[in-house]
Amino acid sequence: MKKLENTIPSCDSCPNEKRVFCSLSQLELGELSINKKNFQYKKGEEIFQEGNYPHGIFCIYSGVIKLSKRGNEGKDQIIRFAKSGDILGYRSMLAKQMYSTTATAMDDVLICQIPIHNFESLLKSSNKMCMKTIELLSDDLKRSENQVLSVSQKRVADRLAEALLTLKDKFGFKEDQQTLNMQITRREIGEMAGITTATTIRTLSDFNKDKLIALHNKDIKLINVAELERLATS
């Protein structure tokens, strides 16, 4: 982790999609930027850890972050990913609770930290921002409840197909419109779906044989998306 000076522009000129801040005026965005700190994290570094207390919210300028929870045998469960424009840590901050997940950089990340005070006062003064926050939380809740159902009832292959499609939806394809645009280990794919690494690799290999996907080194090409979707919803 490295503290940056003036590398990232003020929020009012941030090129990213504004998400929760989309309703704010240029003026309000400027206010948001007061006391904003910028950091750089290298791949693998942790932005915050489950069990620690938040001092502000994070807004991702560039890069990808995974949010995960550690189980009791040291096995991780990936809860979701966040990328540029996404905000992190507001749930814990608003509830004044410890972080319930750990945030880890999946690649090199530039991130802004906004002090609690600035965020909260905007939330209290802007009803639209409140509603937007409710929207974000609702969406996360829906996803999470679906994940409970998946892990509880679906078999490994179906969950793996689901994970691959999640990666597609969140990160898209490379230029060929087939290869997942995301560098991710087999272990992490397993951690998305709640599968052990060995079984993840075995099942990916099955998909490869069945021509649902094609594996080249670490690249994963989705060949038969329709069939993957059939599996994922079955």
Partner DNA sequence: CGTCATGTTGAGAGCCCTCAAACGTCGTGG
Partner DNA sequence: CCACGACGTTTGAGGGCTCTCAACATGACG
Among 5, 6, 152, 176, the residue binding a second copy under the rule CB under 8 A is: 152
42 near DNA, judged by CB under 7 A: no
DSSP 87-123: EESHHHHHHT---SSEEEESS-EEEEEEEHHHHHHHH
| Smallest distance from DNA to CB 116, Å | 33
| CA–CA separation, 179 and 7 (whole Å) | 32
Beta bridge partners of 64: 83
Q: Is 31 in the site for a second copy (CB under 8 A)?
A: no
Residue 95 binding a second copy, by CB under 8 A: yes
DSSP 29: H
Minimum distance, C-beta of residue 43 to DNA, in the bound complex (Å) = 8
Q: Which is nearer to a second copy, 7 or 146 (CB)?
A: 146
Long-range pairs for 165-171: beta carbons < 8 A, 24 or more residues apart: 165/225, 165/228, 165/229, 165/232, 166/192, 167/192, 168/222, 168/225, 170/81, 170/83, 171/64, 171/81, 171/83
- Is residue 2 part of the contact set for DNA (CB under 7 A)? no
> If binding means CB under 7 A, how many residues of this protein chain bind DNA?
20
147 binds, among a second copy, DNA, none (CB under 5 to 8 A by kind): a second copy
CA quadruple 109, 106, 44, 146: dihedral, nearest 10: 120
In three-state form (DSSP H/G/I as H, E/B as E, the rest C), the secondary structure along 137-204 is HHHHHHHHHHHHHHHHHCCHHHHHHHHHHHHHHHHCECCCCCEECCCCCHHHHHHHHCCCHHHHHHHH
User: Taking CB under 7 A as the rule, does residue 221 contact DNA?
Assistant: no
Any contact of residue 140 with a second copy (CB under 8 A)? yes
Q: Which of residues 103-162 bind DNA (CB under 7 A)?
A: 155-157
Footprint of a second copy on 49-88 (CB under 8 A): 69, 71-73, 75, 77, 79
> Residue 72: which of a second copy, DNA, none does it interact with, CB under 5 to 8 A by kind?
a second copy
Out of 2, 143, 174, 218, point to the residue binding DNA (CB under 7 A): 218
The piece of 8-16, 93-101, 210-218, 223-231 that touches a second copy (CB under 8 A) is: 93-101
Residue 28, interface with a second copy (CB under 8 A)?
A: no
Between strands 56-62 and 109-115, the pairing is antiparallel
Binding-site ranges for a second copy (CB under 8 A): 69, 71-73, 75, 77, 79, 91, 94-95, 97, 100-101, 123-125, 127, 130-131, 133-135, 137-142, 144-149, 151-154, 194, 233-234
